Amino acid sequence: MTHDVHIIGGGLAGSEAAWQLAQRGFRVRLSEMRGSGDTTPAHQTEGLAELVCSNSFRSDDDERNAVGLLHHEMRRLDSLVMRAGEIARVPAGSAMAVDRDVFSAEVERVLTAHPNITVVRERIDELPTSGLTVVATGPLTAQGLAESIVRATGQDRLAFFDAIAPIVHRESIDMDVCWFQSRWNKGDGKDYINCPMTKEQYLAFHQGLLDGEKIAFKDWEADTPYFEGCMPIEVMAARGVDTLRYGPMKPVGLDNPRDTTPEFPQGRWPYAVVQLRQDNKLGTLWNMVGFQTKLKHGAQVELFRTIPGLENAEFARLGGLHRNTFLNSPLVLDRQLRLKGGEHVRFAGQITGCEGYVESSAVGIMAGLMTAAELAGTAWTPPPRSSAMGALLAHITGDAEAETFQPMNVNFGLFPPLHDVKKKSRKEAYTSRAKADFSEWLESAARVPA
């Protein structure tokens, strides 16, 4: 098939861009390296849109949460990721979590069945010199292509470390010690497994994180910073003895039913808690929330089995660490994600410096819409700055300072401020304004060609 657009990378962003273009009648060649004999240090399968670090798309609350608002906007644009996410959804309170295998299989099924999409398993080592191209190779771009991108931008790549949390087999968790409960009983109230810790157990665990044997850095990795939103647990532990108790191990809103008194008949809050979230539809796999780590595998098994309820834990996957790369987008990309000096090439997803599954997917959607408008000869206006998509795009393509640019999750700090609204009502005000402005933007077919 002769194609109108070449998309390089079959992750979340590339899959979304391909879907948006194909649905508008444009022919897409989607190149994915995995399946051609190549892979990455983090991927486990050859499936399109494989989820690597977590199985969660985070909060699905579109009234008070910026990422939930982004979900809402993506659904309005017929997001393939949101479609597949609903099919693969597993319980996770107010969050949207999915069965990884079901999710990836659904995305691949839809894309490979589409008459306007040809999926090719091949590694691309050079940026194309002509033809509309969307590069969505993510933070683990293969070396040859990464070097080609560096030459084209004239800039050094920025980089940070990203870490993967362990996954535990459900049957190996001791439910005589642990219990089901969501914090403050959100969702159905039973979407997480909680492992309680006393003060003595927590302090011993904290020391174990500090003392455990870590993965050694290579020389070229030594000065690479971590991303604050995906910090290895031992790095958080090094920041202070109570840091974890105010982060992934916070006990607030969790009543241990094994520790009741007349004063606390529903159970008291433990000193610290390790939470596990369902990772597949069968409920047989549960991931350790916030437990990204660079501990060596042997050290992980030894230490994590000191957690109450996980003494006999069997791990389907242990934690890991990989080096992510991204562009200094405010410096090298224009407002339509095009490479300055090579405008036939767009970038999408995490390589642009957004962070998170949902953000990567949303940027993929926008790259697809921009390219569709260009092919149709139609002017494309970006989503309003007051929307989640518009705020994220503005941050990537110019609002952020190039000298200090770092990956960013969507958050209300990226939105135009509402200083005249009381603080307690501000989140609702942000979402109400965003939904109204986004709806108005959607009414113009010229902005979103169909």
How far CA 425 is from CA of 93, 138, 419, 421, in Å, comes to 23, 36, 11, 7
382, 397 Cβ separation under 8 angstroms = no
- Within 114-198, residue ranges assigned H as helices are 143-153
Segment (H or E) for 104: helix 100-113
d(Cα 132, Cα 234) in Å, to the nearest integer? Answer: 44
Beta bridge partners of 295: 214
d(Cα 39, Cα 295) in Å, to the nearest integer? Answer: 23
Provide the 3-class DSSP secondary structure of residue 396: helix
Segment (H or E) for 280: none
173, 315 Cβ separation under 8 angstroms = no
183, 252 Cβ separation under 8 angstroms = yes
93 is in an annotated binding site: no
Q: What is the CA radius of gyration of the chain?
A: 22
215, 299 Cβ separation under 8 angstroms = no
319 is in an annotated binding site: no
Maximum Cα interatomic distance, the chain, rounded to a whole number of Å = 74
CA angle, 313 as apex, 310 and 316 as ends, to 5°?
135
12 is in an annotated binding site: yes
> In this structure, are strands 95-98 and 56-59 parallel, antiparallel, or unpaired?
antiparallel
37 is in an annotated binding site: no
Beta bridge partners of 347: 135
Beta bridge partners of 168: 286, 315
413 is in an annotated binding site: no
Helix, strand, coil % over all residues of the chain, rounded to 5: 35, 20, 45
283 is in an annotated binding site: no
d(Cα 305, Cα 314) in Å, to the nearest integer? Answer: 9
d(Cα 187, Cα 4) in Å, to the nearest integer? Answer: 44
Those residues with Cβ within 8 angstroms of residue 185's Cβ, 6 or more apart along the chain or in another chain = 253
Taken in order 18, 14, 94, 278, is the CA torsion positive or negative? positive
HSE-CB of 306 using CA atoms within 13 angstroms? 16
Spell out a b/e string for 243-266, using b for 16 or more CB atoms within 10 Å of the CB, else e. bbbeebbbbeebbbeeeeeeeeee
- List the binding residues for FAD: 9-14
